[in-house]
């Protein structure tokens, strides 16, 4: 007897190209390499994605959380997705029938292998079976953030009210502090959130530039207290990772802005890399270069709150090539010693050995360990991707030397929203 041939409907995981800010978080997070990208889009391989959801929470915009019910045999190919400017509409006839795809045996095996790193490896060991290294939840006492109020189709316009260099003029590193004012338009933000800037013009093939993401460097109540403005810390990109000359489209646009210029802004983004609101919480902040932006925002918010009784400790490890290349060097050193414990690490000071934030942390191991012991300590790491392994490794070493079980502590800090990593 011939019955109808069963139709397999796949709930296909897709990324919305209209909202995605190309921050690479999803590709880094995906444990089975199901996500890839070109200069245009970030996309998901239907034959690899197993719907593990590891990428969903870390995505700052929510662009990652899109699904279409499609005939499995007709799943959208990567090559198609790379050309999209918007997601395809859902075929009503298939809506609601899809099941999430399973990865091939090979891909699934690869994922379990990755989680089983050996304990004596020099790499920090990933806690438990969870492949995400940092928290995907905010601190319990964080304020509720607003996200995605504006997108690239309906951005908000901000006016430049300040733009000045915060690195020594003699250095190659041209880092700017840029203040954007939103006037009467609502743009509520929290420390640790980011925004998207849409640079004007088009790419060589005539497409509008996609937005670039920048961390907010000012506290929630404004760069200037009580004003509807915020600050960014932007490094002018003149070379690619291989050292070849290249003009960063958005960073050069931003660094060249004049007072009164108007900028198209998306966002805000981010709902986990947020600071605790309870007054006795401690912040352990570790950053390199422009990764200082969220640390500046949190530090300044605490400085303003301190006057209203916040008591928690602030400990900062901040790395740059030289003193002259460290953004906000002067203002940072002016902060009172009893307010913030600042530790700088310079890697290219002529005549001195290379020193990274990890080295500075090791030197302060006893004080870092005291913070690790405290259940109200929140850790924030922001900056170069390369520092993440080194920082986790030194935390593991410091915890171990202090008699703390790092695997247990790491897992606990992650689930309690107390270990936040934002590196790229």
Interface residues with ligand NAP (CB under 6 A)? 194, 215, 235, 288-291, 293, 319-321, 347-348, 356-358, 382-384, 386-387, 390, 422-424
Cβ-based nearer residue to ligand NAP, 187 or 356: 356
The closest residue (CB) to ligand NAP is 289
Mapped to the 3 state alphabet, what secondary structure does the chain carry? CCCCCCCCEEEEEECCCCCCCCCCHHHHHCCCCCEEECCCCEEECCCCCCCCCCCCCCCCCCCCCEEEEEEHHHCCCHHHHCCCCCCCCCCCCCCCCCEECCCCHHHHHHHHHHHCCCCCCCCCCCCCCCCCCCCCCCCCCCCCCCCCCECCCCCEEEEEEEEEECCCCCCCCCEEEEEEECCCCCCCCCCCCEEEEECCCECCCCCECCCEEEEECCCCCCCCCCCCEEEEEEECCCECCCCCECCCHHHHHHHCCCCCCEEEEEEEECCCCCCCCCCCCEEEEEEEHHHHHHHHHHHHHHHHHHCCCCCCCEEEEEEECCHHHCCCHHHHHCCCCCCCEEEEEECCCCCCCCCCHHHHHHHCHHHHHHHHHCCCEEEEEEECCHHHHHHHHHHHHHHHHCCCCHHHHHHHHHHCCCEEEEEC
Q: How far is the CB of 349 from ligand NAP (least distance, A)?
A: 10
Cβ-based nearer residue to ligand NAP, 289 or 417: 289
Q: How far is the CB of 262 from ligand NAP (least distance, A)?
A: 23
Q: How far is the CB of 326 from ligand NAP (least distance, A)?
A: 9
Cβ-based nearer residue to ligand NAP, 45 or 321: 321
Cβ-based nearer residue to ligand NAP, 41 or 251: 251
Cβ-based nearer residue to ligand NAP, 80 or 240: 240
Q: How far is the CB of 354 from ligand NAP (least distance, A)?
A: 6
Cβ-based nearer residue to ligand NAP, 222 or 390: 390
Q: How far is the CB of 25 from ligand NAP (least distance, A)?
A: 9
Cβ-based nearer residue to ligand NAP, 246 or 262: 246
Cβ-based nearer residue to ligand NAP, 285 or 293: 293
Q: How far is the CB of 232 from ligand NAP (least distance, A)?
A: 9
Q: How far is the CB of 211 from ligand NAP (least distance, A)?
A: 14
Q: How far is the CB of 48 from ligand NAP (least distance, A)?
A: 26
Query: Which pair of tokens denotes residue 366?
Result: 């006893």
């Amino acid at each position: 007897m011939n019955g109808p041939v069963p139709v397999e409907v796949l709930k296909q995981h897709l990324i919305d190209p209209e909202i995605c800010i190309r921050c690479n978080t999803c590709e880094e997070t995906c444990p089975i390499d199901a996500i890839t990208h070109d200069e245009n889009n970030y996309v998901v391989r239907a034959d690899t994605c197993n719907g593990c959801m590891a990428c969903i929470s870390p995505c700052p915009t929510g662009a990652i959380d899109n699904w279409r019910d499609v005939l499995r045999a007709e799943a959208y190919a990567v090559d198609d997705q790379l050309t999209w400017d918007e997601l395809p509409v859902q075929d009503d006839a298939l809506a609601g029938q899809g099941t999430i795809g399973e990865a091939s045996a090979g891909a699934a095996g690869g994922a379990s292998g990755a989680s089983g790193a050996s304990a004596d490896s020099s790499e920090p060991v990933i806690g438990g079976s969870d492949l995400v290294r940092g928290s995907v939840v905010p601190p319990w006492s964080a304020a509720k953030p607003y996200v995605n109020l504006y997108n690239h189709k309906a951005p908000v316009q901000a006016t430049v009210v300040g733009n000045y260099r915060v690195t020594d003029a003699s250095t190659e590193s041209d880092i700017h502090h840029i203040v954007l004012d939103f006037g009467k338009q609502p743009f509520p933000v929290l420390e640790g959130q980011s925004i998207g800037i849409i640079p004007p013009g088009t790419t060589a093939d005539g497409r509008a530039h996609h937005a670039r993401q920048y961390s907010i460097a000012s506290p929630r109540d404004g760069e200037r207290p009580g004003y509807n403005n915020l600050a960014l810390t932007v490094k002018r990109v003149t070379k690619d990772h291989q050292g070849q000359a290249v003009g960063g489209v958005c960073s050069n646009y931003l660094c060249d802005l004049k007072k009164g210029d108007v900028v198209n802004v998306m966002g805000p983004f981010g709902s986990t890399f947020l600071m605790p609101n309870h007054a006795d919480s401690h912040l352990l902040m570790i950053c390199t270069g422009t990764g200082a932006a969220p640390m500046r925002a949190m530090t300044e918010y605490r400085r303003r709150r301190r006057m209203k009784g916040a008591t928690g400790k602030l400990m900062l490890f901040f790395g740059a090539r030289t003193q002259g290349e460290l953004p906000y060097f002067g203002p940072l050193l002016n902060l009172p010693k009893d307010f913030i414990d600042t530790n700088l690490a310079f890697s290219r000071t002529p005549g001195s050995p290379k020193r990274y934030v990890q080295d500075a942390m090791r030197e302060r191991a006893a004080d870092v360990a005291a913070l690790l012991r405290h259940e109200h300590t929140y850790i924030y790491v922001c900056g170069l991707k390369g520092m993440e392994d080194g920082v986790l490794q030194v935390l593991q070493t410091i915890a171990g030397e202090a008699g703390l079980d790092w695997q247990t502590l790491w897992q606990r800090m992650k689930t309690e929203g107390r270990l936040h990593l934002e590196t790229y």
